[in-house]
Amino acid sequence: MNSKIMKTGVSVFVLVVFFMFCFVSAPPSAFAAASKGPAQKFARGVVHITAAIFQIPKEVVQKTGDSTAPIYLVPIQGLFEGFGNGVYLGIRQVVSGFTDIFTFWTPAGRDWDPIYEPATLVPKI
């Protein structure tokens, strides 16, 4: 019985991760075509809060790849600079998500647009 519950939990987790990456990795132009309204604003807030933690590893990888420091300092610079930048972007995304969730019934003077357009979680190559 316990293994059946575990298999179900793993299946649900895989589906949630799959759908989250489908929403997160879509280009911003895909969301621009969608009709704007309270349901989209609420869903955007949930996605922003859920995906905010992934800003930290994304920025660590991005900063490590963009570093121009000597080769022995690249991992250190990428880790510290990327971690700090990732925490900042994650907090900014969480604030934007909670703002969208708590004000989803009103356009709040922005015509249902988000406070800011967050960076995509797919690093530049």
Q: What is the DSSP string of 12-69?
A: HHHHHHHHHHHHHSS-HHHHHSSPPSHHHHHHHHHHHHHHGGGHHHHHHHHHHHH--S
Percent of the chain with pLDDT over 70: 65
Instruction: Provide the domain limits for residue 96.
Output: 36-102
pLDDT tens per residue, range 56-87: 999 998 888 888 888 888 888 889 999 999 99
Question: Does some domain include residue 18?
Answer: no
The answer to whether position 124 is within a domain reads no
- Whether 65 is covered by a domain: the verdict is yes
Phi, psi values for residue 113, rounded to 5° = -80, 155
pTM above 0.85, yes or no: no
Asked if residue 2 belongs to a domain, the reply is no
Span 26-65, pLDDT tens digits: 555 555 545 678 888 888 889 889 989 999 999 998 888 8
Q: Is position 66 within any domain? A: yes
